[in-house]
Amino acid sequence: MRILFTFVGGNGHFEPLVPIADAAREAGHTIAFACGPGMVRAVAAAGFDVLGPDTGHDGQAERRPLLAVSTEREDRILREAFAGHMARARAADGLDLFAAWRPDLLVCEEMDFGSVVAAERSGLPYARVLVIAEGSFVRHHLIAEPLNELRAAHGLPADPGLDMLGRHLVLAPFPPGFRHPDFPLPPTGQALRPRGLDAVPEEAVPRWIGELGDAPTVYFTLGTVFNVESGDLFGRVLAGLRDLPVNVVVTVGEDVDPAELGPQPGHVRVERFVPQAALLPHCDVVVSHGGSGSVIGALAYGLPSVLIPMGADQPQNAARCAALGVSRVLDAVEATPDHVREAVVEILADASYRLAAERLRDEIAALPGPAHAVALLERLVAAEWPSAAEDRSERGPVRPT
């Protein structure tokens, strides 16, 4: 098969696709990616062919102040950006890509609504890969109107229930027990083991990880997007962790200079990036913004968290973690170093947090891996487009640009 993977946004939208793409390539299928220009270089660095121009990423991302969590603001972004102008652009681009590259199948992440419309318009089978763990962020009443306007613009019938979002196959790399019960997977949904359990090559594991002392280890991250709009949050959290009798590992991302945080004592290490699958097996607590990747990554290793949500799906993830007893939640604007210190001490002292996280760890470990997803994709194409196997040989080679 020829499989086109597409996503909008940054790493959090790309990384859930990677294990499936790797497994599909290992199974002998032809793989290409399409994404926004700002992510082309990152996708190529991960070893994939990319269709589209590389605008590069020169210099550091714009730093923005920390804002209080606003449901109204995030709903507006979902409706006007992801389901609005971004979807319109992705639908137009998708039609051109499908005509030029002629895939047998589209695999897109859940926020790439425009590619779904383009696939339906082209008669192309598609699978959606969920990137939001808790499930309640994408609410149909917010996106139905702009997506139906887009459907009409492309000559498709109205879809008031947005059946298009679950029509063929939905892959969810999250444990079912984490998803909010009011937002179940559709009948076409299949839970998968997330990427967090992937092995890391020995040469990619920093030597200092194996030299961490016997004290508990706390890992602190604010992800790869909200790290640049976190104000003084790095400093406040680090001030709360610095005096604890623990090892502290902080990752700030490529767009934040570790020197900004000043000199640190020997038990505190500040890095731009560390492979989480290399570090998390050595940790006891994770302090994070509550992004889906960070939350599920911690749970894959049975680790409780202190969550400090700032926006997007983070508040919903944090609320779900609190309800499941795996996390303490702090307010990003109001949290003081003392609040951070007290929350971490409580998590370390109260075994119930770790036990609750380990129950989800066991659920994650029991899920099928990406090879199962590839089998489902093959079955989907066989069912939806039986002639694909016959005309693949007539198609030209991949020509990434």
- What are the pLDDT digits (tens) for 111-136? 999 999 999 999 999 999 999 999 99
CA-to-CA separations, 235 to 156, 260, 267, 315, in angstroms, rounded:
51, 9, 16, 21
218-234 pLDDT per residue, tens:
999 998 888 878 889 99
- Do 28 and 159 have their domain in common? yes
Mean pLDDT, residues 161-187: 95
Same domain, 168 and 225: no
Q: Are residues 155 and 267 in the same domain?
A: no
206 backbone dihedrals φ, ψ, rounded to 5°: -60, 140
Residue 137 domain-assigned (yes or no): yes
Residue 130 sits in a domain whose CATH number is: 3.40.50.2000
Instruction: Give the pLDDT confidence score for residue 344 in this predicted structure.
Output: 98
Q: Given this model, what pLDDT does residue 384 score? A: 66
Q: Do residues 246 and 168 both lie within one domain?
A: no
Name the residue among 213, 202, 229 with its Cα closest to residue 291. Answer: 229
Q: How confident is the model at residue 394 (pLDDT cuts 50, 70, 90)?
A: very low
Q: Are residues 218 and 249 located together in one domain of the fold?
A: yes
Answer yes or no: is pLDDT of 62 > 90.
no
pLDDT digits (tens, 9 = 90+) for 87-111: 999 999 999 999 999 999 999 999 9
Residues 6 or more apart in contact with residue 38 via CB below 8 angstroms: 10, 55, 57
* Domain assignment of residue 44, yes or no: yes
**386, pLDDT greater than 80:** no
Least confident of 150-154, 262-266, 376-380: 262-266
**Quick check: is 143 in a domain?**
yes
Among 43-57, 154-168, 237-251, the least confident range: 43-57
Give residue 10's domain range: 2-193+367-394
Tens-place pLDDT, residues 269-317? 999 999 888 899 999 999 999 999 999 999 999 999 999 999 999 999 9
pLDDT at 203 over 90: no
Residue 244 near residue 218, CB atoms below 8 Å: yes
Lookup: tokens for 102: 């002629």
Same domain, residue pair 95 and 9: yes
Give the other-Cβ count within 10 Å of 151's Cβ: 20
On whether both 278 and 375 belong to a single domain, the answer is no
Both 189 and 238 in a single domain? no
Task: Give me the chain's average pLDDT, please.
Answer: 91
The yes-or-no verdict on residue 387 having pLDDT over 60 is: no
- pLDDT tens-digit series, residues 329-363: 999 999 999 999 999 999 999 999 999 999 999 99
Q: Does one domain contain both 43 and 133?
A: yes
Six-digit token pair at 161? Answer: 């229930």
Give Dmax over CA atoms of the chain in angstroms.
Answer: 66
Domain-located, residue 336: yes
Q: Is residue 401 part of a domain?
A: no
**Are both 186 and 207 inside the same structural domain?**
no
Provide the number of structural domains found in the chain.
2
pLDDT of residue 249: 96
Decide if pLDDT at 254 tops 70: yes
Q: Name beta bridge partners: 106.
A: 4, 126
Task: Give residue 198's pLDDT.
Answer: 63
Residues 20 and 107 sit within 8 Å (Cβ to Cβ):
yes
Task: Tell which residue, 386, 196, 375, has the closest CA to residue 294.
Answer: 196
Q: Which residue has the tokens 């989800």?
A: 360
Comparing 260 with 198, the larger pLDDT belongs to: 260
Q: CA-based Rg of the chain, rounded to a whole angstrom?
A: 21
- Name the more confident of 370 and 385: 370
Neighbours of 51 (CB within 10 A): 21
In a domain, 399, yes or no: no
- Same domain flag for 138 and 227: no
> What confidence tier does 396 reach under pLDDT thresholds 50, 70, 90?
very low
- 231 inside domain: yes
Q: What is the pLDDT of residue 197?
A: 61
Q: Which residues sit opposite 286 in a β-bridge?
A: 219, 305
* Residue 84 placed within a domain: yes
**Which residue has 């229930």 as its token pair?**
161
- pLDDT of 401 above 60: no
182 and 239 both lie in a single domain? no
Q: What pLDDT shows up at residue 395? A: 41
Residue 61's pLDDT is: 67
CA distances from 359 to 6, 223, 301, 367, 392 (A): 33, 25, 10, 13, 45
Lowest mean pLDDT among 131-145, 195-209, 356-370: 195-209
Which pLDDT belongs to residue 349? 97
